Amino acid sequence: MKIFSKEQIYEGDKLTTERQGIHSTDLMERAGEQIFNWMHLRMQGAQVPIHVFCGIGNNGGDGLVLARHLILAGYSVKTYVVNYSHKRSKDFLINYDRIKNVTKDWPILMESEEDFPMIAQDDIIVDAVFGVGLNRPVANWVQALFRHFKTSNAFTLSIDIPSGLYLDKTPEHESGIVNASYTLSFTCPKLVFFLPETAQFTKQWEVLDIGLDAEFMQTTQTDAVIIGKYEVLPIYKPRDPFSHKGHFGHCLVVGGSYGKIGAVILASRAALSSGCGLVTSYIPKCGYTALQASFPEAMVITDNDENHITDIHFEIAPSVIAVGVGMGTDYKTISALENFLKHNNTPLVIDADGINILAKNQSFLKLLPKQTVLTPHPKELERLIGKWSDDFDKLEKAKAFSKKHDVILVIKGAHSITVYGNMLYINSTGNPGLATAGSGDVLTGIITGLISQGYDALSATVFGVYLHGKSADIAVEDYGYQSLIASHVIEYFGAAYLDLFKQPEPVEDNTENKKES
């Protein structure tokens, strides 16, 4: 699913009115009606007090349309205009007149804290104060209104975006943002729903389709995409019935050190379970028995050193090499990695200490093959690209780094983001059960295994991150968040593959992108 920029959203609205021969007021009517339908379906006429807070722009206009429909359906509604500016959008004014036709309770004008109404915990707040048009800090008294919403503990439904969030930057003050219980977002989810600093402002979200022009939706290129099942299905390579293991490549996993051989076992098992033909693990001598005993499908090459990788030298011709898991940063390992990179032309996936070594020795970066995949967690990313001031700065720095070195970066975390050039691929699968030792090693393995099967590096990364999260989503049903461990994730790869071909549920849950049909 595409994430449109602010400019693209306005352009889509404009094109839709032109091509469908409708007025922008009609589009607003659709938007407000959709919100009404959503609420009406759930409330079935229940007489819960609903407070609809409207700004003075088109987000406020949506709120007025909603309030009108709620009033007409007999709900108990209070409508407010949050008068943070004396401007009014044209469609706001049209709907301001229309609401006067259906009620004698005209919207209440609010201009300061003295105007704040009582809101009981069992009431409902509709937040139609700011939409995507927010372009400067929110006035203090409006921030106080948002805090008033929060302290009421009432269910808060935000229209399009929690008011106070920008589309393209992190807000100045946390207190100036509505804490939404639920957000109904038009046309596409917003990038801020996926970023660590801003995702917390809506507990759940859902996209409402307001019927923007189909050609616009299909042909507009966006620089951020959410990766769900429908994005990865076209990537999937079916298996030829006559295929043999030679078709699916040979992964070499280089890593491990005394006490950290398990990382290599996990990555190697994940590579094989993702479908590669052969796996060889390259480890210090101390790990030989552990690896052979726990993972008999793997072949093993040992370094001359007992405890560390000191020389990456092998006679085999792997299709792809993963380097770094459990490897440590011993000076002999650093020198081994440098020598290896100087002679290597095989595609690489680099994780963990491999990344830490690159971060400290940035001259090694120019030795990487094009489209090397790097999978840092946030601390490793910081070592690699430097500190960032906020999430948007982080993404800009990651893009610049990817372009400069022609590498694919996976920014790991909840909603891992794959960055390549200017593109962001935001993963929709995964859960906090993955916050457990070794789950990153499993990710390294699955991406490596997919490259070995002939997926290009970017497709392998995007697909691998998706499958890794999906396996965890299925596994968590059996293990719960607390008991899920990295090995379970590998065991559920099969279920994640099979899930690709399951028919979707009528309404998808929020870990996949929700879309009301």
Ligand X SMILES: Nc1ncnc2c1ncn2[C@@H]1O[C@H](COP(=O)(O)OP(=O)(O)O)[C@@H](O)[C@H]1O
Which residue in 63, 318, 438, 445 binds ligand X (CB under 6 A)?
438
Which residue in 36, 80, 96, 130 binds ligand NPW (CB under 6 A)?
130
SS3 assignment, position 457: helix
State the DSSP string of 83-129.
Answer: -S-S---HHHHHHHHHHHTT-SSPPEEE-SGGGPPP--TTSEEEEES
Work out how close the CB of 75 gets to ligand X at its nearest, in angstroms, rounded to a whole number. Answer: 37
Query: CA 431, CA 224: separation in Å to the nearest integer?
Result: 21
Query: CA 454, CA 351: separation in Å to the nearest integer?
Result: 20
Query: 414 contacts which partner out of ligand X, ligand NPW, K ion, none, CB within 5 to 8 A by kind?
Result: ligand X
Query: CA 492, CA 130: separation in Å to the nearest integer?
Result: 43
User: For residue 493, how many C-alpha atoms fall within 13 Å in the half-sphere facing its CB?
Assistant: 24
Q: Which stretch binds K ion (CB under 5 A): 76-84, 119-127, 263-271, 413-421?
A: 119-127
Query: 158 contacts which partner out of ligand X, K ion, ligand NPW, none, CB within 5 to 8 A by kind?
Result: K ion
CB 454 within 8 A of CB 407: no
What do you get for the CA distance between the two ends of the chain, in Å? 15
Work out how close the CB of 185 gets to ligand NPW at its nearest, in angstroms, rounded to a whole number. Answer: 9
Query: Among 444, 441, 256, 280, which residue's Cα sits nearest to residue 333?
Result: 256
If one asks whether residue 82 binds K ion (CB under 5 A), the answer comes out as no
CB 50 within 8 A of CB 76: yes
Residue 152 or 375 having the CB closest to ligand X: 375
Query: 440 contacts which partner out of K ion, ligand X, ligand NPW, none, CB within 5 to 8 A by kind?
Result: ligand X
Binding to ligand NPW by CB under 6 A, coded x per residue (else -) over 60-79, reads xxx-----------------
Closest residue by beta carbon to ligand X: 440
Which residue in 31, 165, 443, 447 binds ligand X (CB under 6 A)?
443
Sign of CA dihedral 300, 301, 307, 308: negative
CB 82 within 8 A of CB 109: no
CA of 186: how far to CAs of 41, 53, 150, 212, 352, in Å? 18, 18, 24, 10, 39
User: For residue 53, how many C-alpha atoms fall within 13 Å in the half-sphere facing its CB?
Assistant: 27
- Ranges within 181-200 binding ligand NPW (CB under 6 A): 186
If one asks whether residue 259 binds ligand X (CB under 6 A), the answer comes out as no
Helix 378-385 to helix 391-405 angle, to the nearest 10 degrees? Answer: 60
Any idea what DSSP says for residue 442? Answer: H
If one asks whether residue 163 binds K ion (CB under 5 A), the answer comes out as yes
Q: Which residue has the tokens 């007090």?
A: 49
Instruction: List the binding residues for K(+).
Output: 59, 127, 163
If one asks whether residue 460 binds ligand X (CB under 6 A), the answer comes out as no
How many C-beta atoms surround the C-beta of residue 507 within 10 A?
A: 10
Residue 49 or 137 having the CB closest to ligand NPW: 137
Query: Among 51, 39, 48, 43, which residue's Cα sits nearest to residue 80?
Result: 51
Q: Which stretch binds ligand NPW (CB under 6 A): 59-67, 189-197, 322-330, 440-448?
A: 59-67
- Contacts (Cβ under 8 Å, ≥6 apart) of 331: none
Number of amino acids touching ligand X (CB under 6 A): 16
If one asks whether residue 27 binds ligand NPW (CB under 6 A), the answer comes out as yes
Query: Among 184, 229, 228, which residue's Cα sits nearest to residue 206?
Result: 184
If one asks whether residue 200 binds ligand X (CB under 6 A), the answer comes out as no
Q: Which residue has the tokens 């616009």?
A: 216
Which residue in 120, 437, 498, 507 binds ligand X (CB under 6 A)?
437
Which residue in 431, 459, 487, 511 binds ligand X (CB under 6 A)?
431
Token pair recorded at residue 207: 């996209």
If one asks whether residue 159 binds K ion (CB under 5 A), the answer comes out as yes
CB 329 within 8 A of CB 353: yes
If one asks whether residue 412 binds ligand X (CB under 6 A), the answer comes out as yes
In this structure, what is the dihedral angle of CA atoms 284, 288, 291, 297, given to the nearest 10 degrees? 110
If one asks whether residue 441 binds ligand X (CB under 6 A), the answer comes out as yes
Binding to K ion by CB under 5 A, coded x per residue (else -) over 126-145, reads -x------------------
Residue 110 or 385 having the CB closest to ligand NPW: 110
Work out how close the CB of 514 gets to ligand X at its nearest, in angstroms, rounded to a whole number. Answer: 17
Work out how close the CB of 198 gets to ligand NPW at its nearest, in angstroms, rounded to a whole number. Answer: 16
If one asks whether residue 502 binds ligand NPW (CB under 6 A), the answer comes out as no
Which residue in 16, 163, 402, 416 binds ligand X (CB under 6 A)?
416
If one asks whether residue 216 binds ligand NPW (CB under 6 A), the answer comes out as no
Q: Which residues partner with 372 through β-bridges?
A: 407
Query: 87 contacts which partner out of K ion, ligand NPW, ligand X, none, CB within 5 to 8 A by kind?
Result: ligand NPW
Binding footprint of ligand NPW on the chain (CB under 6 A): 13, 24, 27-28, 31, 55, 57-62, 84-85, 87, 89, 130-139, 159-160, 186, 210
Binding footprint of K ion on the chain (CB under 5 A): 127, 158-159, 163
Binding footprint of ligand X on the chain (CB under 6 A): 377, 412-414, 416, 430-432, 434-435, 437-441, 443
